[in-house]
């Protein structure tokens, strides 16, 4: 039993190391192997708890930073998220009932389906999906424009299964060649497709129109952000940083989420100051602000023109549960005591901002803004791009989580949204990570100091964003097909299992 516990813990540690800050993504390709050995010939109950232990280790090592917001909430969330590992352990414990060619696909299908459920159940928590571990492995993640991040998760899990089979049954390399050839073929196709797309997109981008864009990283500590005594300091800091970059005459400047340190309607003097500033530098400005309207508050992105006029506004669609609102507030009022809750109302409209960058060239830009963790939800980005956005912007404030791996884990999601939809993505984060992501997922032009620190430093970054003219990607058009294919395969496997039992 001690050996099984050790193997379960080892899997959790290997998976932790494959994510930021370590970024040892190669470990994810065999991180589940120790757990598979621990689950050999185990009862359903024991398999559940061994896998559940792996889940607890993994999630505690990954979202430890949430304790800066709520200790009790972090503990409860870890116990909940580990359930998906436990359920996966139940599936693994039963795979011996199936022919070997089935469980090669069954286990990846089961994992992808569990991730998909986690991404949607109870408003969804698609953080640290297995595929996200590969965000720096550019050739592999290119398949996301067909399968979404789910395809990368599937492939990584498939390799885990094959490695386990080779180690536990070496003779199967000879007796079950078809199974291993299938995996090798999937990997080969993935790399060929990846390099092909990376080369094609790089060549195409050189021929497209561009928008010179600047992101500002203000680095405002969370404890100062909503103290009215610091309003002048915060606004002036953003203005001073913007003045420096305005000398390069960008077409668009982006400030982070809630850069305006007050409710707009309650303290209009600061809003007027920002509009006058945009007019003075003659550059369009996007910034985050809290809006009060009809007795409701909205977490919004404002698009201010170079004439100092409000062109458009986007209200955040997908709110953070227990952060911006309380689920089941009327039924469970005690939840207000667990974490500091905002009182934000969700928006209702997918907004695409449109503006001509220069009167002479009439270069029209169409883009949409993802606020905070909205970039975790692929369906939001898909809808924005389908409605006409040529590139995406993510404005966020990860200062809550102090100097931790949280901002870099958040960055992983943005990488996949860029690849899935084949668009540029600009990030403006209060304390980092701010910069740009190419349609291939390559991260460029990050805000950093002389020692290469990327979080809790202030600064700005400027980059040309090329306007894509290629057709919508397969994933943008059709969405999450792979999880439903996985579901159909699992149902088919259940039928096979039933027949084998008989």
| Beta carbons within 10 angstroms of residue 90's beta carbon | 16
Q: CB under 8 Å to 205, separation ≥6 — which residues?
A: 438, 439, 466
Task: Round to whole Å and give the CA distance between 181 and 186.
Answer: 9
Q: Is 372 a catalytic residue?
A: yes
CA atoms within 13 A on the CB side of 43: 3
Q: Is 316 a catalytic residue?
A: yes
219 membership: H or E segment, kind and range: none
Residue 354 phi/psi, 5-degree rounding, is -130, 135
Residue corresponding to tokens 């203000």: 218
Active-site choice (165, 214, 372, 486):
372
What is the rounded end-to-end Cα distance, in angstroms, of the chain?
A: 32
Q: Is 257 a catalytic residue?
A: yes
Tell me if 300 sits within 8 A of 316, measured CB to CB: yes
What are the tokens at 247?
């000398």
140 membership: H or E segment, kind and range: helix 138-141
Q: Which long-range contacts (CB under 8 A, 24 or more apart) does 447-451 make?
A: 447/215, 447/217
DSSP state of 98: S
31 membership: H or E segment, kind and range: none
Cis-peptide into 255, omega within 30 deg: no
Active-site choice (214, 316, 420, 486):
316
For 219, 401, 444, 461, the CA distances from 431, given in Å and listed in that order, are 4, 10, 17, 14
Task: Round to whole Å and give the CA distance between 23 and 19.
Answer: 5
Active-site choice (115, 257, 324, 420):
257
Query: Which residues are tagged catalytic?
Result: 257, 316, 372
């Amino acid at each position: 039993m001690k050996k099984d516990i050790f193997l379960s813990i080892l899997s959790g540690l290997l998976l932790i190391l494959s994510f930021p800050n370590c970024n040892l993504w190669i470990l994810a390709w065999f991180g589940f192997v120790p757990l598979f050995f621990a689950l050999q010939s185990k009862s359903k109950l024991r398999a559940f708890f061994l896998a559940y232990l792996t889940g607890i280790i993994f999630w505690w090592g990954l979202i430890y930073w949430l304790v800066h917001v709520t200790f009790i909430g972090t503990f409860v969330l870890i116990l909940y998220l580990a359930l998906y590992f436990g359920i996966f352990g139940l599936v693994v414990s039963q795979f011996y009932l199936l022919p070997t060619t089935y469980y090669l696909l069954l286990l990846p299908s089961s994992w992808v389906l569990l991730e998909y459920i986690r991404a949607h159940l109870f408003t969804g928590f698609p953080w640290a999906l297995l595929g996200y571990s590969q965000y720096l492995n550019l050739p592999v993640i290119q398949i996301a424009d067909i399968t979404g991040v789910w395809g990368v998760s599937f492939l990584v899990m498939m390799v885990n299964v094959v490695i386990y089979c080779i180690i536990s049954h070496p003779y199967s390399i000879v007796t079950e060649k078809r199974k291993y050839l299938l995996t090798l073929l999937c990997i080969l196709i993935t790399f060929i497709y990846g390099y092909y797309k990376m080369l094609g997109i790089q060549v195409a981008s050189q021929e497209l129109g561009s928008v010179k864009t600047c992101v500002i990283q203000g680095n405002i500590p969370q404890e100062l952000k909503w103290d009215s005594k610091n309003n002048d300091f915060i606004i002036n800091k953003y203005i001073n940083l913007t003045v420096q970059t305005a000398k390069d005459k960008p077409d668009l400047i982006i400030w982070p989420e809630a850069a305006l340190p007050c409710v707009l309607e309650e303290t209009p003097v600061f809003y007027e100051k920002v509009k006058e500033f945009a007019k003075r530098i003659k550059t369009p400005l996007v910034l985050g602000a809290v809006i009060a309207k009809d007795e409701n508050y909205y977490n919004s992105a404002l698009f201010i023109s170079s004439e100092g006029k409000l062109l458009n506004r986007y209200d955040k669609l997908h709110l953070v549960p227990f952060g911006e609102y309380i689920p089941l507030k009327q039924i469970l009022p005690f939840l207000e005591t667990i974490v500091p809750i905002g009182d934000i109302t969700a928006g209702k409209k997918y907004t695409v901002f449109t503006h001509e960058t220069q009167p002479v060239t009439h270069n029209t830009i169409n883009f949409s803004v993802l606020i905070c963790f909205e970039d975790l939800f692929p369906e939001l980005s898909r809808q924005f791009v389908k409605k006409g956005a040529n590139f995406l912007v993510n404005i966020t404030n990860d200062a809550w989580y102090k100097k931790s791996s949280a901002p870099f884990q958040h960055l992983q999601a943005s990488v996949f949204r860029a690849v899935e939809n084949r668009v540029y993505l600009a990030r403006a984060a209060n304390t980092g990570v701010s910069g740009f992501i190419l349609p291939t997922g390559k991260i460029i032009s990050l805000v950093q100091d002389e020692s290469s620190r990327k979080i809790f430093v202030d600064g700005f970054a400027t980059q040309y964003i090329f306007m894509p003219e290629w057709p919508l990607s397969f994933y943008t058009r059709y969405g999450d097909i792979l999880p439903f294919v996985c579901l159909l395969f699992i149902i088919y496997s259940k039928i096979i299992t039933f027949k084998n039992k008989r």
